[in-house]
């Protein structure tokens, strides 16, 4: 049941409301940044699996040529 004389909980001050808004914005910005980082990592992982990015990707040619063994022979 409610009180006859109104609410006994103190109302939040303007400073408390402002602080809550600021914390909420910071939390949302951090979540957005985290999601962007995860998406960027996923994209990089896919590119690495395709062979578009990596140590030897600049030296490859069509058909898988351009890779060499330890003796310097081209692997076909």
pLDDT > 70? residue 2: no
CA-to-CA distance for 21 and 13, rounded, in angstroms? 13
pLDDT > 90? residue 16: yes
The model's pTM is 0.53
Indicate the range of 7-21, 24-38, 55-69 predicted with least confidence. Answer: 55-69
Q: Under a CB-based contact definition with an 8 Å cutoff, are residues 31 and 39 in contact?
A: no
Domain boundaries, the chain: 13-53
Nearest to 64 by CA among 16, 6, 72, 56: 56
Give the mean pLDDT of the chain: 80
Bridge partner list, 67:
75
- Alpha carbon of 58 to those of 15, 47, 65: distances in Å? 57, 13, 12
CA-to-CA distance for 19 and 27, rounded, in angstroms? 12
Of 35 and 1, more confident: 35
Q: Under a CB-based contact definition with an 8 Å cutoff, are residues 33 and 27 in contact?
A: no
């Amino acid at each position: 049941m409610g009180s006859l004389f109104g609410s006994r909980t103190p109302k939040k001050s303007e400073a408390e409301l402002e602080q809550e808004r600021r914390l909420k914005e910071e939390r949302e910005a951090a979540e957005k940044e985290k999601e962007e980082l995860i998406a960027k990592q996923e994209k990089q992982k896919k590119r690495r699996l395709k062979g578009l990015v990596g140590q030897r990707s600049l030296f490859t040619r069509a058909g898988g040529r351009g890779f060499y063994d330890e003796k310097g022979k081209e692997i076909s």
